Amino acid sequence: MIEILVQSLEGSFINNWILSKAWIWPTLEIIHFIGLSLLLGAMLVIDLRLAGFLRNFNMQVTHRLLPFAAIGFFLNLATGLLFFIGDPARYSVNIGFQLKMLLVFIAGFNALWFALKINPHLKSMDPYGDTSKSAKMTAYISLIAWFGVLLLGRLIPYVGTG
């Protein structure tokens, strides 16, 4: 299945475009870094507050950072897809990439859990108060997952394949 995907992407118009210009890959790297900075910067503040730290920050105010996290995520999604299309044979078998994608999935599922189960209860609590154990667990999962994504993304060029 993966081989079919790799074969269909290699030699495609987008693959050729990415590989044909020396400036495209570094530009994608810069945009990916900016996206990751927005995502992790916003999530760090939100998750630390949710975990019970930074209690002098209003909980609802910290959630105003969520649009920045979303912009960062979508920048990384777009550039990440272009990276994969640009070199599908390398990424598809890279253990660092595979683990990174697993952590992105876990972080996404955790964000969905937060939106459906945790966030509705936060609106009625003291904005400077402590959070529930489930809110704290959600925050810790998010912090671990996103920092794991950061570290594994950085390791992709250096770890073995398969």
157: confidence class by pLDDT, cuts 50, 70, 90: confident
pLDDT tens-place string over residues 10-69? 888 888 899 888 999 999 999 999 999 999 999 999 999 999 998 889 888 888 999 999
Sequence letter at residue 110: N
125 DSSP 8-state letter: S
| Cβ-contact 13, 82 below 8 angstroms | no
Residue 106 CA to residue 111 CA, distance in Å, equals: 9
Give pTM, 2 decimals: 0.87
* Res 77 pLDDT > 90: yes
* Res 162 pLDDT > 60: no
Higher pLDDT, 162 or 142: 142
Q: Which residue matches tokens 């870094």?
A: 33
pLDDT tens-place string over residues 26-35? 999 999 999 9
Q: Give residue 8's pLDDT.
A: 78
Q: Give residue 114's pLDDT.
A: 92
Residue 128 CA to residue 31 CA, distance in Å, equals: 35
pLDDT tens-place string over residues 86-120? 999 889 899 999 999 999 999 999 999 999 998 88
